[in-house]
Chains A and B, each alone.
Chain A
Amino acid sequence: MLETLFDTIDTVQIDGDDRLFCLRPLEADPALAASIAVIGLTQPLRLQARPDGLYRVVSGFHRLQAAHAAGLNSVPALIFDAAAETLEIFKWRLAEIAHSNPLPPLQVSHAIARLESGWSQSREDIIRTFFPLMRLAPSPKLYALYAPLHQLSLSLQRLLMQDALSLEIAVALAQRPASDQHCFHGVIQCLRLGKNRQREFWLLLTDLERIEKRPLTELMDKNPLAAILAEAVLTPTQKSDQLKSALMHLRYPTYSAAVDRYEKILRRAKLPPGIQLRPAPYFASDQFHLELSFRSARELRRRLRVLETMLEQGLIDEMTGLA
Chain B
Amino acid sequence: MKRHGRYKPFVPDRIYIEEAVRESPWTQRILVHLPHAAVTPIPSLDQWEAPPGGNSILLARQRGPFLRLCPGTSRHICCLYQNLDIAAGCDLDCSYCILQAYLNVPMTTLYTNLDALFAELDEKLGRFPRRFFRIGTGELSDSLTFDHFAAWSGDLVHYFSDKSNAIIELKSKNTLIDHFVRLRHNRRTVVSWSVNAEAMSASEEPHAPSLQERLDAAVEVQKAGFRLGFHFDPMLYHPDWAQGYRATVDAIFSRIDPHNIAWISLGALRYPPLLDEIIRENHPESEIVLGELLPGVDNKYRYFKPIRIEMFSRMYQWIRAYSPDVLVYLCMESDEVWKRSFGWSPKSSAGLKKLLDARVRD
* A285 touching B336 in the complex, CB below 8 Å, given contacts A254-B304, A255-B304, A323-B304: yes
B223 within 8 A of A: no
Contact A323 B306, beta carbon cutoff 8 Å: yes
Query: What residues on B are CB-neighbors of A207 within 8 Å?
Result: 289-290
Query: What residues on A are CB-neighbors of B306 within 8 Å?
Result: 254, 258, 323
Q: For chain B residues 284-318, which have a beta carbon within 8 Å of chain A?
A: 287, 289-290, 292, 294-297, 302, 304-307
B334 within 8 A of A: yes
Contact B294 A252, beta carbon cutoff 8 Å: yes
Q: For chain A residues 265-292, which have a beta carbon within 8 Å of chain B?
A: 280-286
As a 0/1 sequence over residues 284 to 317 of chain A, the CB contacts with chain B under 8 angstroms (1 = contact) are: 1110000000000000000000000000000000
A211 within 8 A of B: yes
Query: What residues on B are CB-neighbors of A255 within 8 Å?
Result: 292, 294, 304
* A254 touching B307 in the complex, CB below 8 Å, given contacts A210-B290, A211-B290, A285-B334: yes
Number of interface residues of A (CB under 8 A): 16
Closest to B334 in A: A285
Contact A282 B290, beta carbon cutoff 8 Å: no
Could you tell me the distance in whole angstroms from the C-beta of B38 to the nearest C-beta in chain A? 23
Closest to A206 in B: B280
A104 within 8 A of B: no
Contact A281 B290, beta carbon cutoff 8 Å: no
Could you tell me the distance in whole angstroms from the C-beta of A199 to the nearest C-beta in chain B? 11
In whole angstroms, what is the CA distance A15 to B297 when docked? Answer: 64
A253 within 8 A of B: yes
In whole angstroms, what is the CA distance A280 to B334 when docked? Answer: 14
Query: What residues on B are CB-neighbors of A286 within 8 Å?
Result: 334, 336
As a 0/1 sequence over residues 34 to 72 of chain A, the CB contacts with chain B under 8 angstroms (1 = contact) are: 000000000000000000000000000000000000000
In whole angstroms, what is the CA distance A253 to B306 when docked? Answer: 12
Contact B297 A285, beta carbon cutoff 8 Å: yes
- A-side binding surface: helix, strand, loop or mixed? helix
Choice from A210, A253, A281, A285 contacting B292 with Cβ under 8 Å: A253
Query: What residues on A are CB-neighbors of B307 within 8 Å?
Result: 254
In whole angstroms, what is the CA distance A134 to B249 when docked? Answer: 58
In whole angstroms, what is the CA distance A281 to B304 when docked? Answer: 11
Number of interface residues of B (CB under 8 A): 16
Contact A252 B297, beta carbon cutoff 8 Å: no
In whole angstroms, what is the CA distance A281 to B294 when docked? Answer: 9
Could you tell me the distance in whole angstroms from the C-beta of B72 to the nearest C-beta in chain A? 17
Query: What residues on A are CB-neighbors of B287 within 8 Å?
Result: 210
Could you tell me the distance in whole angstroms from the C-beta of B185 to the nearest C-beta in chain A? 42
Query: What residues on A are CB-neighbors of B302 within 8 Å?
Result: 284
Query: What residues on B are CB-neighbors of A252 within 8 Å?
Result: 292, 294, 304
In whole angstroms, what is the CA distance A285 to B336 when docked? Answer: 8
In whole angstroms, what is the CA distance A280 to B296 when docked? Answer: 9
Contact A284 B290, beta carbon cutoff 8 Å: no
Could you tell me the distance in whole angstroms from the C-beta of B304 to the nearest C-beta in chain A? 5
Contact B292 A323, beta carbon cutoff 8 Å: no
Contact B295 A281, beta carbon cutoff 8 Å: yes
Could you tell me the distance in whole angstroms from the C-beta of A289 to the nearest C-beta in chain B? 13
Contact A284 B292, beta carbon cutoff 8 Å: no
Contact B336 A284, beta carbon cutoff 8 Å: no
Could you tell me the distance in whole angstroms from the C-beta of A286 to the nearest C-beta in chain B? 5
Contact B294 A282, beta carbon cutoff 8 Å: yes
In whole angstroms, what is the CA distance A280 to B294 when docked? Answer: 12
In whole angstroms, what is the CA distance A253 to B287 when docked? Answer: 17
Contact B336 A282, beta carbon cutoff 8 Å: no
Q: For chain A residues 219-259, which have a beta carbon within 8 Å of chain B?
A: 252-255, 258
Could you tell me the distance in whole angstroms from the C-beta of A256 to the nearest C-beta in chain B? 9
Closest to A286 in B: B336
In whole angstroms, what is the CA distance A31 to B360 when docked? Answer: 81
- For A207, A283, A286, the residue with the greatest tally of chain B CB atoms inside 10 Å of its CB is A286
Query: What residues on A are CB-neighbors of B75 within 8 Å?
Result: 285
Could you tell me the distance in whole angstroms from the C-beta of A251 to the nearest C-beta in chain B? 8
In whole angstroms, what is the CA distance A111 to B172 when docked? Answer: 49
Could you tell me the distance in whole angstroms from the C-beta of B121 to the nearest C-beta in chain A? 38
Q: For chain B residues 311-362, which have a beta carbon within 8 Å of chain A?
A: 334, 336
Q: For chain B residues 240-296, which have a beta carbon within 8 Å of chain A?
A: 287, 289-290, 292, 294-296
In whole angstroms, what is the CA distance A251 to B296 when docked? Answer: 18
Query: What residues on A are CB-neighbors of B290 within 8 Å?
Result: 207, 210-211
In whole angstroms, what is the CA distance A195 to B109 when docked? Answer: 39
In whole angstroms, what is the CA distance A272 to B297 when docked? Answer: 29
Contact B334 A282, beta carbon cutoff 8 Å: no
Query: What residues on A are CB-neighbors of B294 within 8 Å?
Result: 252, 255, 282, 284
In whole angstroms, what is the CA distance A285 to B74 when docked? Answer: 13
* A323 touching B305 in the complex, CB below 8 Å, given contacts A285-B336, A286-B336: yes
In whole angstroms, what is the CA distance A255 to B305 when docked? Answer: 9
Closest to B299 in A: A284
Choice from A210, A284, A323 contacting B296 with Cβ under 8 Å: A284
Contact B295 A283, beta carbon cutoff 8 Å: no
In whole angstroms, what is the CA distance A254 to B290 when docked? Answer: 13
Contact B304 A283, beta carbon cutoff 8 Å: yes
Could you tell me the distance in whole angstroms from the C-beta of A127 to the nearest C-beta in chain B? 13
Query: What residues on B are CB-neighbors of A285 within 8 Å?
Result: 75, 297, 334, 336
Query: What residues on B are CB-neighbors of A280 within 8 Å?
Result: 297
Q: Can you name 17 A-B residue pairings with CB atoms under 8 Å?
A: A207-B289, A210-B290, A252-B294, A253-B292, A254-B306, A255-B294, A255-B304, A258-B304, A280-B297, A281-B295, A282-B304, A283-B304, A284-B294, A284-B297, A285-B336, A323-B304, A323-B305
B-side residues, CB < 8 A to A, are: 75, 287, 289-290, 292, 294-297, 302, 304-307, 334, 336
6 extra A-B contacts, CB within 8 A, seeds A254-B306, A282-B304, A323-B306: A210-B290, A211-B290, A252-B304, A253-B292, A254-B292, A255-B294
A-B pairs, top 5 by smallest CB distance, nearest first, are A282-B294, A286-B336, A284-B296, A255-B304, A284-B297
